[in-house]
Structure 1
Amino acid sequence: MDVSSKIDLAQFLSQDIVELWNEWQIRSLMLLSLLLQILLTIFGERRKYTSGRLLGTFLWVAYLSADWVATFSLGILARSEADSANPKLIPVFWAPILLVHLGGPGTIPVYSMDQASKLLIGRLLQLVTRVGVACYVLFRLWNNNVITSVFIPIFVSGIIKYGERISVLTRLHVYNNVSPRPCAEVHRIKIKDILPCYKNTRSNVIYLHEAHILYKTFQILSKNFDLVRSDQKFTYDLVSKKEAEEAFHLTEVELGLKYDRFYSKVTRISRSRVILRSTTFLSSISALVSFSIMTKSNGVYSKNDKIISYVLLSGVVCLETYSIIMQLFSDWTMIWLTSTSERAGGIPRGINCLSLLLTFWRKRKRWWSGSMGQHNLISAQSNKPVNKLLKKYFPWIIGNIDSRKKVGKDLKELIFKQVKDKRSRYDPDSSDFTFLKNLLKERGREALQSKDCIGKFGWSVDGVEFIHSLLTWHIATHVCYLYDSDQKNGFHKKRKSVILNSTLLSDYMLYLLVNCPTMLAREPSETRYDDTRIHLRRLLFWNTHKEVKLNISLEELNALSFQEAEVKAFFKELLQSPSTVLKEIEEQGKGEMSALLDGCMLAVSLQSLERRDGWSNDEKWEMISHVWVDMVMYAASHCGWKQHTHALARGGELLTHVCLLMAHLGLSKQCRPAISEQLADRSTRLAGILESEKPSSLGPSFMSKDTTNGTKTNLDSIRSSCYLQIYKRSLSPFTIS
């Protein structure tokens, strides 16, 4: 074959490829858009109870791709020919189908809270432009009544679904921009009047309504409002009487309601929502039926376009049916059904049937991941280094650094017991608010003081930054764990749970520091973790090169990986020859913000409790576990509500559940004590002072004379009276009923 023949063949093939692409461009994009909607619908719900970088990255890519594909396809349709005499005419009702896709699935209308403020105005403008494009296509084929009967129902459904998406963005935008305000009368929810009396029903119905009531208080707390005393006392009585597993389950359902409210279109049942959902469902069915009738009597479209149209319309019907099923089996529907049955006369049989349904549904429903991330500073040194490009652009590949562990029953009991113990030290009636703030600032002091160790270990929790204290106790905990796990007798069954919970909480707090730093109270020491990690790696490197002290750059140090046996040997040597190793650590860590030296010193001191002070191993680990629970409570109470809400989209965090338990028990900055008598009597004292000040004592300069009738008016007295009335009105919201 000569050169000219090859050129002609290449031109012929390229021309065929261009024609094939022009013919199937919009068709392939429409099918791709439907596929993305199906994937987002299925996997969007799973992020509520699944924590993982792979799922999060997949959803993020699919979320962005879905909008881009639908917008690009809508632009192609706007430029396509609209001649009804053309046998290869592209169905114009594909445009409103894309509008339905742009409305987003009900399970993930918004990806994260950070996008709400940025996307709200854009979504409103996009709604106008995209509806305009769809109307433009409809206007060009307005005379075709058959096509209009398919176009209009899908167009109405698309506007409704897009409007629902904007509604979700509006809720998040308002939540992100709410300003702290004091408690007012209008925000009192009067819990005692809301909770129905289900005396003859099963507990599955009761716990659902209890969680709903706690959700209402969470709505107040998350907006920086204060709980009034009656509501605070009610939530305390409700949660404190529960077992640990039941209390955590209440917070699970409560946060599940919060997730539905912010990150999905599934929300409480109302008449308007039922009407809108019925309209979209009937519209999609009507469009499918109309198209099937049209294809039997009219052969305008090609066979491929008919098949694709059936697939697209059937996809709209299936997605709408799935969203209705999700709404019917949601917590909101169950709450509405049980409330309606009770108000209708309390039919025991009907409620018991719902209770049986709840029992079946409860066993299979998940509200959060039920796990916590783990990151260990010591074991991470033996991980293989990751390529910089992979680490930057594909962070989900780093799976050997962070892992996840289940939040077990023993850990829940440990946390719940210590939260109640801390609450028992605070009496809202007698303790002032300053005492509560100091109580929330504790991060292990009480645990050390109860063991008479505050003088020996107080330096690690008092007068030191929280991040430094966290790293210090993390290193000490795992050095003690390495030493105790290497003993011949191993761990006894009685203390195995305590030791495991201590290490789990230690790794979890470091996981939050590395992966979710905004959830922890940040201090000026932003690089303290990196300094500690580099300090440890440098010591491990020089420990393996004792003969020659080599200088190594930071990049080369980060690229190294150490054997697990080498890391363990370094810390075992620390406990065997503490003076030598500690001096070496001090020499190599001068001028750095590293917590390695403090952590190693604390580990040596903890291990000396058994040799010098006669402590048992159980007592030591019990104190360590109490310190870690205290640190978790400190971090939970100092994390902002916005950060807690943002974490719901990642499968939820244990820290959020602890924060809610503390808030419901009264351990929250928003749960203020009763107004003191001094504040309550302020208006009375002010009135007494104003009454004692006679107008004559103010002098003639404060008097004005009316030259017309000769009467005198005390302007200051009038002003004072007005100010007093305004001041009394300003105090009225703070009165406690």
Structure 2
Amino acid sequence: MASTMGGLVQLWNEWEIQLVVLLSFILQIFLFVTGSIRRYNINIFLRLVIWLAYVGADMVAVYALGLISRNVQSANTSDGSGRSSNRLAFFWVPFLLIHLGGQDTMTAFSIEDNNLWLRHLLNLSIQVYLALYAFWKSTGRHSLQLLAPAILVFHAGIIRYGERTWALKCGSRDGLKETSWQLPKLNVEIDKGSYLDTICYVLKSILCVHDLFSGRTISQMKERHVFRFQGDRPLEQVSKLLEVELAMMYDDLYTKAMVLRIRSGFILRCISHVFMIAAFVLFLTACSKQQYNRADIAITYVLFIGGFVLDVCSIFLVAMSPWTWAFFRAQNCHRLAHISWLILCSHIGWPEKRPLWSNSMGQFSFLSSCIGFDEPRSSSKMLTILRKMLNAVNKKLWFRKIWHTKHAKVNKDIMENVVTWVRRLAREEFTRIIQEQNWVNLQPIINCTLNIPANSFGNNIVLLHIYTDLHLRKQPDLNVIGSEATSTSTADIMDTCRKISNYIAYLLVMQPSMLPLSGSAQDTIASFYEKIINKGSRKQDVLGTCYQLVEDHLEFGYEECLTEQEEPRAWLETLVEIRDMWMRLLIYVAGKCQVELHAQQLGRGGELLTFVWLLMVHHDIGAVAQQVDLITSSKTMSGNFFAFYCPKELAEQSTA
């Protein structure tokens, strides 16, 4: 056993440098691939693996530099007593510097990496010095023939590492403020409502999106007139327009897109390509004159050829950028522009029919998380023990977050409702809407939430969420209503109510920083569970407790309204009011969310709240434009809900 372990240790010592160098290159391939797909994916496990690879890639590369510099004696041995494989290790040092420069598809893992670009600049200085030290200590007489190609690769590595730091600076908050470029004049006929029209509009408005993510308001934008929506746009185009804007913003924040789009950055990239090609040719010439270990030569080929393959893939990524198409079109390079457009619209690019984000919204149901795992009448002892264990663990808040958090697709109905409500607000049509909407059925629940100053925003969300869930569970037989409502439209309204209610509950549980909370979300959730779970975790117990909880919050004399709403016609009217209530609440929350949180969510698959926020800004409403208040000093129902989405001055005029 001891001899076996000793043999493994000796084998590891002999091949440690080679394995670590290959591991560094494998991590770069993984980051290149996952950097392109993480904008579409919300899987927590995948995000964890990407984070480990992102952090571990730099650690592995630095560790390899230390190994190479430590093996000076064996690398400089020329009498045959040392291993010949170490004679080529010094040539891998500049490749490790290229690895430290990262991939074009991922320069930053989170938005904090951009704002800490000075720290990365310091790391650049230290690690370049470490690479120079390892390179100098590892060279010997036998490596003079490889000195020229190694120097070329070294220069390419410094350029790549500099690109990464430069991209982080450009993606920082201050870097976005300094961004300035002009769209080339495009001589192209555009059909209104087409995908080409969407791309051209985004190319003009992306500077304003940069201003938003840098912290500027609408009044501080450089091209405000370009950003604001003029006239009505088809629903499909509005949704796709927001997707393309946020997709381009993702590239500018988390990739090297801004650096490669600048002329100086493009020139430096071309120089690094020339250096690598020249170094590869010189390496082939040197290998024919000097005998090296075959395994080491194979590893060097992998580093060269693998790097060339990644560069070719990066060229495709650049070619499918809307900026590349606009550049070729402005230069009247019609064939190149046509090729770029074909790549852009292909399945590997940004096709019109495919979402450019995860297209999902988080879902969390408080009632479902309270209901335990019921035991069937006939079950084995093992299953009984397992259910008891799950019921015990289900009382823990962290388990509820993991087990009961789900995701649902953002369907067309939800986007239609969002666009409709934002457009109504932008047109200042709420005076007429409020006059028509008396909130007859929701008046009791609204009074017990919005008109009580002591209630925190988190408590109101929980109460409205419970009320919505209870109302959906009491669906009556709608056939008695007649032709006023079809089963299809009712099902769509119910689906919208359930998804938006569960989504805002999900934000309260998983993303509380995105909500305008006045207290701790953790304490709010814990207090709710304490009131519910104490009376049992069976389904009937939970529903009965929640129903009693809602009644306890109602003002005296309104308890009978809950029973009246169970009638089919009143139930359907209340359902429509609930949908309108949640849409208004969604827009209010989106307008209050900080821009840094929206930028952070772009690297996590995207968030529906970001789309609502950007749509509001396009219509000059939200926290960065005209302030939106939740309630006013008026205690009338119309005053309260009118102030949900209307500018403050308009709300004051209405209540006056």
What is the aligned partner in structure 1 of residue 376 from structure 2? none
Tell me the equivalent position of 1:546. Answer: none
The answer to whether the aligner puts 1:264 opposite 2:255 as a matched pair is: yes
Instruction: Measure the CA separation in 2 of the matches of 1:601 and 1:96.
Output: 77
Cα offset, 1:50, TM superposition: 0.9
The residue aligned with 1:505 is 500
Aligned to 1:707: none
1:609 Cα offset (Å): 4.7
Q: Indicate the residue corresponding to 2:426 in structure 1.
A: 423
1:386, distance to aligned residue in structure 2 (A): 6.9
TM-score of the superposition, structure 2-length normalised? Answer: 0.80
TM-score, normalization by structure 1: 0.71
Identity, in percent, stands at: 25
Matches within 5 A, 1:307-456: 307-341=298-332, 357-360=343-346, 361=349, 362-363=351-352, 366-382=355-371, 400-425=403-428, 449-452=437-440, 455-456=443-444
Q: Distance in 2 between matches of 1:420 and 1:363?
A: 23
Q: Identify if the C-alpha distance between structure 1 residues 70 and 506 changes in structure 2 by more than 3 Å, giving closer, same or farther.
A: same
Distance 1:602 1:356, change over 3 A: farther
Aligned counterparts, 1:37-52, within 5 A:
37-52=28-43
Specify whether residues 423 and 77 from structure 1 end up closer, same or farther in structure 2 by C-alpha distance, changes over 3 A only: same
> Are residues 1:531 and 2:503 paired?
no
| Aligned counterparts of 1:322 and 1:353: Cα–Cα separation in 2 | 16
Alignment match of 1:618 (pick from 572, 578, 601) = 572
In the alignment, the residues of structure 1 paired with residue 435 and residue 606 of structure 2 have an alpha-carbon distance, to the nearest angstrom, of: 28
Q: Distance in 1 between matches of 2:273 and 2:325?
A: 21
Query: 1:396 & 1:59 partners in 2: Cα distance?
Result: 24
Cα 1:446–1:235 shift into 2, 3 Å: farther
Q: Find the counterpart in structure 2 of residue 494 from structure 1.
A: 489
Shift of 1:225: 2.6
Which runs of 5 or more structure 2 residues have no equivalent in the other structure?
374-388, 628-656
Structure 1 residues 346-387: Cα deviation after superposition (integer angstroms, max 9, x where no partner): x6x876676555443424764211111111111122466779
| Cα offsets for 1:486-518 (capped at 9, x unmatched) | 989998112111110110001111111111111
Is 2:218–2:224's contact at 8 Å kept on the other side of the alignment?
A: yes
SS in 2 for 1:168: helix
1:663 aligns to 2:653 (yes or no): no
Residues 356, 97 of structure 1: alpha-carbon distance in 2 compared, 3 angstrom cutoff: closer
CA offsets 1:217-240 (integer angstroms, 9 cap, x no match): 2222333333349955554443x5
Compared with structure 1, are the counterparts of its residues 469 and 287 closer, same or farther at alpha carbon in structure 2 (3 Å cutoff)?
A: same
Match of 2:595 in 1: 641
Partner residue of 2:605?
651
Do 1:49 and 1:651's aligned partners in 2 also have CA atoms closer than 8 Å?
Answer: yes
Of the three residues 508, 516, 537, the one matched with 2:511 is: 516
Assess if the C-alpha contact under 8 Å between 1:176 and 1:642 holds in 2.
no
Q: Would you say 1:279 and 2:271 are equivalent positions?
A: yes
Change (3 A) 1:672 1:476: closer
In the alignment, is residue 135 of structure 1 matched against residue 126 of structure 2?
no
Write out per-residue CA displacement over residues 16-64 of structure 1, whole angstroms, 9 at most, x where no aligned residue.
3332121111111111111111111111221111112111111111112
What is the CA-CA distance between 1:88 and the residue it aligns to? 3.1
CA–CA distance in 2 between the matches of 1:172 and 1:391? 42
Larger relative contact order, structure 1 or 2 (CA cutoff 8 Å, min sep 6): 1
Which residue, 283, 286, 289 being the options, matches 2:281? 289
Matched, 1:199 2:189: yes
Q: Aligned to 2:448, which of 453, 459, 464?
A: 459
- C-alpha contact (below 8 Å) 2:254/2:603 kept by paired residues: yes
Q: Deviations over 1:662-704 (max 9, x none)?
A: 011011233369xxxxxxxxxxxxxxxxxxxxxxxxxxxxxxx
Secondary structure of the residue aligned to 1:484 is coil
- Aligned partner of residue 78 in structure 1, secondary structure: helix
Q: Which amino acid aligns with 1:63?
A: Y
SS in 1 for 2:120: helix
Amino acid at match of 1:297: K
In 2, distance between residues paired with 1:70 and 1:386?
Answer: 43
Per-residue deviation, 1:137: 3.8
Moved more, 31-40 or 121-130: 121-130
Give the Cα separation in 2 of the matches to 1:264 and 1:388. 45
- What do the CA deviations read for 1:177-211 (whole angstroms, capped 9, x no partner)? 98xxxxxxx9999x9x9885643568333211211
| 1:210 alignment partner in structure 2 | 201
For the residue of structure 1 that corresponds to 2:361, the secondary structure is: strand
**3-state SS of paired residue (1:41):** helix
Alignment-derived partner of residue 159 in structure 2: 160
SS at match of 2:603: helix
Q: Any conservation in 2 of the 1:472–1:599 contact (CA below 8 Å)?
A: no
Work out the CA distance in 2 between the residues paired with 1:401 and 1:116. Answer: 33
Partners of 2:184 and 2:578 lie apart in 1 by 42
Provide closer, same or farther for how the CA distance between residues 73 and 601 of structure 1 changes in structure 2, counting only shifts above 3 A.
Answer: farther
Question: Which letter does structure 2 place at the counterpart of 1:516?
Answer: Q
Query: Closer, same or farther in 2 for the Cα pair 1:254/1:602, shift >3 Å?
Result: farther
Hey, what's the Cα distance between the residues in 2 that align with 1:273 and 1:138?
A: 27
CA distance in 2, matches of 1:609, 1:67: 65
Q: Do the aligned partners of 2:171 and 2:252 also contact (CA within 8 Å) in 1?
A: no
One-letter amino acid of the structure 2 residue matched with residue 416 of structure 1: V
Over 3 Å counting, the alpha-carbon distance change for 1:107 and 1:643 in structure 2 is same
Equivalents in 1 of 2:494, 2:591: separation in Å? 25
Equivalent of 2:464, from 473, 486, 499?
Answer: 473
User: Whole-Å Cα distance in 1 between the matches of residues 226 and 286 of structure 2?
Assistant: 62
Residues 1:292 and 1:629: Cα distance change in structure 2 (over 3 Å): same
Q: Distance in 2 between matches of 1:147 and 1:671?
A: 61
Aligned to 2:539: 567
* Alignment correspondent of 1:183: none
Offset of residue 333 of structure 1: 2.0
Residue 90 of structure 1 deviates from its aligned partner by: 4.1
Deviates more, 1:42-51 or 1:641-650: 42-51
Q: Secondary structure at the match of 2:519?
A: coil
> 1:204–1:355: 8 Å Cα contact kept in structure 2?
no
2:65 pairs with 1:77: no
> Equivalences for 1:180-191 in 2 at 5 Å?
none
Whether the 8 Å contact between 1:477 and 1:603 is mirrored in structure 2 is no
1:231-256 Cα offsets, whole Å, 9 max, x none, are 55554443x51122211211111111
Q: CA RMSD in A?
A: 3.8
How far apart are 1:305 and its partner, in Å? 1.2
Q: 1:232 touches 1:671 (CA, 8 Å); kept in 2?
A: no
Q: How many residues are aligned here?
A: 587
Alpha-carbon distance, 1:102 to partner: 1.1
Q: Secondary structure at the match of 1:88?
A: helix
1:109: which partner in 2? 107
> What whole-Å deviation, never above 9, does each CA across 1:615-646 have from its counterpart, x for those lacking one?
44432211111111111111100001011111
CA deviation after TM superposition for structure 1 residue 396, in Å: 11
Cα 1:391–1:260 shift into 2, 3 Å? farther
Q: Secondary structure at the match of 2:362?
A: strand
Query: How is 1:570-589 mapped onto 2 (pairs within 5 angstroms)?
Result: 570-571=542-543, 573=544, 582=548, 585=549
Larger radius of gyration: 1
- The C-alpha deviation readout for 1:369-420, integer Å capped at 9, x for no partner, is 111111111112246677999999xx89975321111111111111110111
Distance 1:306 1:188 in 2: 46
Q: Deviations over 1:447-479 (max 9, x none)?
A: 995435675333323444322221111101111
Instruction: Output the CA distance in 1 between the equivalents of 2:131 and 2:226.
Output: 53
Measure, in 1, the Cα distance between the counterparts of 2:545 and 2:173: 54
Three-state SS of the structure 1 residue aligned to 2:41 is: coil
